[in-house]
Amino acid sequence: MDPLLRVNESHKNGVLSDKTRFLIMERFGIVLEGIQRIEKASKINFPLAYVEPSIIISQHAGSFDYGILFARTLPIIVNEKVEIIIQITAPLVAYGLKGTIHAILAHEFLHYLELTKRMSKMEMVSDEISGNLFESMYADTTRLFEPRAVFDDKTLLLHITKKFPEGFRDYKLEDKVLKNWIQKKLPTINIALDSNTVRIPADVLAKTQIDSNLVHKLEQIEQRASKLRKKKLY
């Protein structure tokens, strides 16, 4: 899977200018560096990821307030099995600071681990994943693994802590995206947050096999997280 395929297609079709494509291509190395960093810090392979040549805007029904989604963790059905991919928006790659990009990638990686854990334990037989799982405000952080139980990288942990204390906001990045992307009428995907759901049939979930080594590592992470919670309580 070429992570920049959709960017190159948008450029070929005249949607993205030479300058915008070059900026995304030039800064994509920061994404690769972040993925390698996360894999080294967690000793777990990063899932498939690609750059979406759009910005994603979410809005609650009946509300004028909206949020920008810079990345999403998406379970998709391929050949009657579930695959989890990370969707990274082009404006994040083009305008995000290194620490911001790495923090967002790490946060989505935590979503990936949580989803994988739930699938391995068949905890998703309700066939629906709440849209909150993918929203940029990340109000669902209580569902995620404790980052300290996953990552052995103090600087990366600091980035996550600073960027995601209660919900991700980066006003400088949002201003850049508004000025350089949205106001220039570059590709924008508008979604109603309440409709941002993914339904997975139970039979498809049952056919999906999780790598046994990954399951074992998730069990170790759960044990470390449990110890950290107990240490915090006492």
Q: What is the pLDDT of residues 186-204, one digit of tens each?
A: 999 988 765 556 667 778 8
Report the percentage of the chain scoring pLDDT > 70: 81
145 pLDDT exceeds 80?
yes
User: CA 181 from chain center: how many Å?
Assistant: 20
Q: Is 119 left (phi over 0), alpha (psi -120 to 50) or beta?
A: alpha
At CA 57, angle to CA 51 and CA 63, rounded to 5?
Answer: 165
- Over range 10-16, report the average pLDDT: 97
Q: What is the pLDDT of residues 33-74, one digit of tens each?
A: 999 999 999 999 999 999 999 999 886 555 555 688 899 888
The residue extents of the domains of the chain are 5-233
206 pLDDT exceeds 90?
no
Is residue 137 very low, low, confident or very high in pLDDT (cuts 50, 70, 90)?
Answer: very low
Q: What is the pLDDT of residues 159-189, one digit of tens each?
A: 888 776 555 678 899 999 999 999 999 999 9
CA–CA dist 177, 91 (Å, integer) = 6
According to the model, what pLDDT value does residue 197 have? 60
Q: Where are the alpha helices (DSSP H) in 53-186?
A: 90-95, 98-120, 147-150, 154-163, 171-177
Helix, strand, coil shares of the chain as percentages rounded to 5?
55, 15, 30
> Can you read off the two tokens belonging to residue 192?
């109603």
According to the model, what pLDDT value does residue 196 have? 54
Q: What is the pLDDT of residues 211-221, one digit of tens each?
A: 999 999 999 99
